[in-house]
């Protein structure tokens, strides 16, 4: 193409048109499609663990992994939205337990019908998320501090409501534990909860990639003052993100109640940090504006695959923790390198 | 064309955008100390002044990016109070801010349509609010091509991979591509090469000939004197005077800008016949 130009090229132009090195090509590709790296990690893990244990790739085990990651994967949807806006949410786990206890007390003690308890739980989740959003968007406090505070508030209320006891599934009625019902799809077993989570991924993924709202989420996370000058209502957008996250968290509580078979505060203690882990391994940038829900889904599955595969290979649980820790550091380093794309050119 | 006739014609009309007594402070810093501005359809009003004179703050107050502490804004004679940039956009005021206000992670087309995205014209668009990505890309490419901005080639390129001048071109294209009544450009040519700078000035002239009002901030005096009808000189948060390229020379403008002379010194009685502006000169 350069031969056809009439004017001779300057040295700088020749330099600009130089062939990219392989590394630069990889860097550009990863920059455009942040989900490539978690996909590679996942494939490598699947291959490795299938050698380590013959049971690993069996449909029953793969179905189990999907069920095991459904709660964290669900929280990670909300976490992705918030991290895309350059925030972080330390309270989603506590909020999920709060909603769990609200639903449990209403259905198990007050005798409210299951569907209505869930509806009220969703309202409580949305309102709790909205309060986080008000503190972040209106009062302009850093999301880390806001959610560190609300984490403690939510967990305290949840414990006060439970009185230290869990409410068994038998008291909750069939509707609330229905998320644990499973049905076969070919050789695999899907639970209603897992299907619900996948549907949430599809719905929120559509909103992020195909609507103006999704674009605005990226723009605000990228540079919120630029987004404001470009005519985006930043406060309103942040409120919508935090409120939607609350609703997603409430649905996660439903999935959790089904998986545990009870409403209890003693489960899913690591779920909050695991949700951050899934988002980061999924290729999203903690600086905001970059990442995708597909990446987060892969990230959540990777965490589940590592935990399950290492357990099957009879490694101590501490090695699972070690492996996840290394994965996080590798993912963040990779993100830093990918972000270097803009420095070139 | 005779300068005094042009000014007389102006004073008979209602300014499309006008401000009276704008005050803006940031804690102890007084950025604007009672500034009046009028801009009419079909004219280019340049704003010049030293660094920190308050030019950017002034246009931010005119375009909803900052809320003035005191003062009154009018659009076509009607009082308005902009709370946010979108309010000014809705009133037909498009702005290129000095910071450009682009989203680095989005591509050129997404940036041009940021805040006014187009939905698909079918059920998916109406019910699911699905974006018409292809349509927006096509339209963005067309608009860039009609404006004659050749430095932008691939409309799907991500903004963070563009050079400073290319980014500036994208910001200018975004502001002028969607029409409006008033186009505000805060140093739109600062990072542009000679050719692209010329293209932007050509666009400014075209917009004026189409009857739009253009507010142009620039440190480039030849650009200002080439394209402006009137020049608002901002100095230390106040308006040091409004001159025209016909009545003043570049050295005089710079002297007023730096406070070496006042407008009254430079041209006794020159701006007479326009009582509205005589007030400015004393302020
Ligand atoms: N957000 C802000 N907070 C505090 N002070 C500000 C802010 N914005 C502007 N100022 C102050 O207001 C004054 C005017 O700034 P402004 O940006 O309008 O200058 P300018 O004339 O545009 O200069 P330049 O030619 O360098 O762009 C400066 O003293 C600046 O420090
Ligand atoms: Mg400025």
Ligand 1 atom nearest to CA at B55: 21
Q: Are both B22 and B146 inside the same structural domain?
A: no
CA distance A194 to A304: 13
Is B57 a pocket residue for ligand 1 (Cβ < 6 Å)?
yes
B61 CA distance to ligand 1 centroid (A)?
12
ipTM: 0.84
Is B98 a pocket residue for ligand 1 (Cβ < 6 Å)?
yes
- Rg of chain B's alpha carbons, rounded to an integer? 19
Q: Are both B65 and B188 inside the same structural domain?
A: yes
Question: Residue A345's pLDDT is what?
Answer: 41
| pLDDT reading at B12 higher than 80 | no
How far from each other are the two terminal CA atoms of chain B, in whole angstroms? 29
Q: Which residue, of B145, B178, B211, is where some domain finishes?
A: B178
Domain count, chain B: 2
Whether residues B104 and A342 touch (CB distance < 8 A) is answered with yes
Whether residues B103 and A226 touch (CB distance < 8 A) is answered with yes
**Torsion angle defined by CA atoms of residues A90, A93, A96 and A101, in that order, rounded to the nearest 10 degrees:** -110
Q: In what order do the strands lie in the sheet with B230-235?
A: B93-96, B182-186, B213-217, B44-48, B230-235, B238-243
Tokens representing A186 are 């070919």
Q: Which of A251-255, B83-87, B204-208 has the highest mean pLDDT?
A: A251-255
CA atoms within 13 A on the CB side of B158: 21
Nearest Cα to Cα of residue A282 among A167, A199, A205, A176: A205
Nearest to B115 among A218, A223, A232 (CB): A232
Long-range contacts: B260-268, Cβ < 8 Å, 24+?
Answer: B263/B233, B267/B243
Q: Are both B127 and B13 inside the same structural domain?
A: no
CA distance A293 to A206: 9
| pLDDT reading at B1 higher than 70 | no
Looking at chain B, list the stretches that DSSP marks H as alpha helix, in order from N- to C-terminal side: 3-12, 55-62, 85-90, 108-112, 123-128, 133-147, 164-177, 194-209, 221-227, 250-258, 263-266, 275-282
CATH code, domain carrying B227: 3.40.50.300
Q: Are both B131 and B263 inside the same structural domain?
A: no
Asked whether the beta carbons of B165 and B76 are under 8 A apart, the reply is no
**Each residue's pLDDT tens digit, B108-147:** 999 999 999 999 999 998 999 999 999 999 999 998 888 8
- Strand-pair category, B182-186 with B230-235: unpaired
Asked whether the beta carbons of A246 and A171 are under 8 A apart, the reply is no
Is B52 a pocket residue for ligand 1 (Cβ < 6 Å)?
yes
Is B99 a pocket residue for ligand 1 (Cβ < 6 Å)?
no
B56 CA distance to ligand 1 centroid (A)?
6
B25 CA distance to ligand 1 centroid (A)?
10
Asked whether the beta carbons of A255 and A197 are under 8 A apart, the reply is yes
Ligand 1 atom nearest to CA at B66: 1
Q: Which ligand is nearest to the CA of B97?
A: 2
Q: Are both B130 and B221 inside the same structural domain?
A: no
**Each residue's pLDDT tens digit, B210-244:** 999 999 999 999 999 999 999 999 999 999 999 99
Q: Are both B43 and B131 inside the same structural domain?
A: no
Beta bridge partners of B80: B73
Ligand 1 atom nearest to CA at B58: 18
Which residue among B22, B30, B37, B52 is best mutated to probe the pocket of ligand 1, counting the most ligand atoms within 8 A of its Cβ?
B52
Q: Are both B84 and B192 inside the same structural domain?
A: yes
Residue A211, SS3 per DSSP = coil
The residue with greater pLDDT, B151 or A308, is A308
Question: Residue A106's pLDDT is what?
Answer: 96
Is B238 a pocket residue for ligand 1 (Cβ < 6 Å)?
no
Q: Are both B174 and B185 inside the same structural domain?
A: no
Q: Are both B205 and B275 inside the same structural domain?
A: yes
The residue with greater pLDDT, B144 or B69, is B69
Question: Residue A4's pLDDT is what?
Answer: 41
DSSP string, A35-64: THHHHHHHHHHHHHHHHH-TTTTSHHHHHH
Shortest distance between the Cα of A31 and any Cα of chain B, in A, equals: 10
Atom 12, ligand 1: which residue's CA is nearest? B31
Hey, what domains does chain A have and what are their CATH numbers?
36-337 (1.10.3470)
Nearest Cα to Cα of residue B232 among B2, B45, B27: B45
Atom 30, ligand 1: which residue's CA is nearest? B52
Q: Which residue, of B178, B205, B220, is where some domain finishes?
A: B178
Q: Which residue has the tokens 């002379």?
A: B261
Atom 11, ligand 1: which residue's CA is nearest? B31
Q: Name the phi and psi angles at A5, rounded to 5.
A: -70, 140
Q: Are both B81 and B205 inside the same structural domain?
A: yes
Q: How far is CA A144 from the centre of its chain?
A: 16
Q: What mean pLDDT comes out for the span B7-33?
A: 85
Q: Which residue, of B178, B204, B233, is where some domain finishes?
A: B178
Q: How many C-beta atoms surround the C-beta of residue B222 within 10 A? A: 10
Q: How would residue B102 be classed by pLDDT, with cut points 50, 70 and 90?
A: very high
Q: What mean pLDDT comes out for the span B264-269?
A: 65
Domain interval for residue B135 = 99-178
- Listed as ranges, residues in chain A with pLDDT below 50 are 1-7, 343-345
Q: Are both B82 and B213 inside the same structural domain?
A: yes
Q: Are both B43 and B19 inside the same structural domain?
A: yes
């Amino acid at each position: 193409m350069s031969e056809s130009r009439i004017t001779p090229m300057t040295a700088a132009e020749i330099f600009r048109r130089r062939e990219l090195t392989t590394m630069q090509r990889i860097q550009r590709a990863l920059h455009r499609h942040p989900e490539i790296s978690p996909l590679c990690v996942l494939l490598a893990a699947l291959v490795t663990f299938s050698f380590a244990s013959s049971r690993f790739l069996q449909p029953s085990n793969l179905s189990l992994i999907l069920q095991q990651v459904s709660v964290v994967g669900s929280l990670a949807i909300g976490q992705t939205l918030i991290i895309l806006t350059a925030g972080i949410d330390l309270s989603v786990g506590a909020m999920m337990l709060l909603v769990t206890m609200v639903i449990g007390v209403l259905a198990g003690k007050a005798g409210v019908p299951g569907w209505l308890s869930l509806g009220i739980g969703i309202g409580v989740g949305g309102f709790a998320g909205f309060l986080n959003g008000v503190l972040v968007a209106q009062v302009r406090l850093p999301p880390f501090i806001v959610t560190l505070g609300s984490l403690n508030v939510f967990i305290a209320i949840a414990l006060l409501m439970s009185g230290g006891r869990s409410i068994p599934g038998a008291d909750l009625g069939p509707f609330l534990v229905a998320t644990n019902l499973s049905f076969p799809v070919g050789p695999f077993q899907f639970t209603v909860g897992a299907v619900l989570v996948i549907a949430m991924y599809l719905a929120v993924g559509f909103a992020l990639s195909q609507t103006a709202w999704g674009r605005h989420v990226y723009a605000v996370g990228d540079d919120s003052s630029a987004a404001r000058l470009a005519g985006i209502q930043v406060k309103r957008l942040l409120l919508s993100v935090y409120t939607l996250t609350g609703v997603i968290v409430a649905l996660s509580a439903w999935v959790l109640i089904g998986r545990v078979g009870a409403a209890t505060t003693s489960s899913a203690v690591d779920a909050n940090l695991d949700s951050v882990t899934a988002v980061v391994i999924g290729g999203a940038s903690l600086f905001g504006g970059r990442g995708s829900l597909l990446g987060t889904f892969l990230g959540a599955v990777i965490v589940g695959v590592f935990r399950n595969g290492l357990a099957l290979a009879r490694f101590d649980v501490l090695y699972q923790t070690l492996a996840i820790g290394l994965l996080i550091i590798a993912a963040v380093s990779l993100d830093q390198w990918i972000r270097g794309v803009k420095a070139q050119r | 064309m005779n300068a005094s006739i042009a000014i007389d014609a102006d004073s008979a009309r209602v300014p499309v955008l006008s401000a009276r007594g704008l005050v803006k402070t940031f804690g102890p810093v007084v950025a604007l100390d009672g500034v009046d501005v009028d801009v009419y359809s079909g004219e280019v009003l340049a704003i010049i002044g030293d660094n920190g004179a308050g030019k950017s703050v002034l246009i931010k107050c005119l375009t909803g990016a900052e809320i003035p502490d005191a003062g009154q804004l009018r659009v076509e004679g009607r009082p308005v109070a902009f709370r946010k940039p979108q309010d000014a956009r809705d009133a037909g005021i498009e702005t290129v801010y000095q910071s450009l206000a682009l989203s680095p992670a989005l591509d050129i087309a997404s940036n041009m349509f940021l805040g006014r995205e187009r939905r698909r014209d079918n059920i998916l668009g109406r019910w699911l609010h699905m974006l018409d990505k292809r349509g927006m890309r096509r339209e963005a490419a067309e608009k860039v091509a009609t404006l004659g901005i050749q430095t932008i080639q691939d409309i799907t390129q991500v903004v963070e991979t563009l050079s400073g001048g290319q980014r500036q071109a994208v910001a200018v294209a975004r502001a002028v591509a969607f029409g409006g009544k008033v186009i505000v450009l805060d140093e739109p040519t600062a990072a542009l090469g000679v050719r692209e700078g010329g293209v932007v000035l050509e666009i400014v002239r075209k917009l004026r000939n189409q009857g739009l009002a253009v507010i142009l901030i620039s440190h480039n005096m030849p650009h200002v004197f080439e394209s402006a009808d009137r020049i608002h000189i901002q100095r230390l948060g106040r308006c040091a005077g409004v001159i025209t390229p016909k009545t003043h020379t570049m050295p005089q403008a710079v002297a007023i800008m730096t406070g070496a002379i006042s407008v009254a010194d430079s041209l006794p009685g020159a701006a007479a016949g326009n009582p509205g502006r005589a007030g400015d000169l004393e302020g």
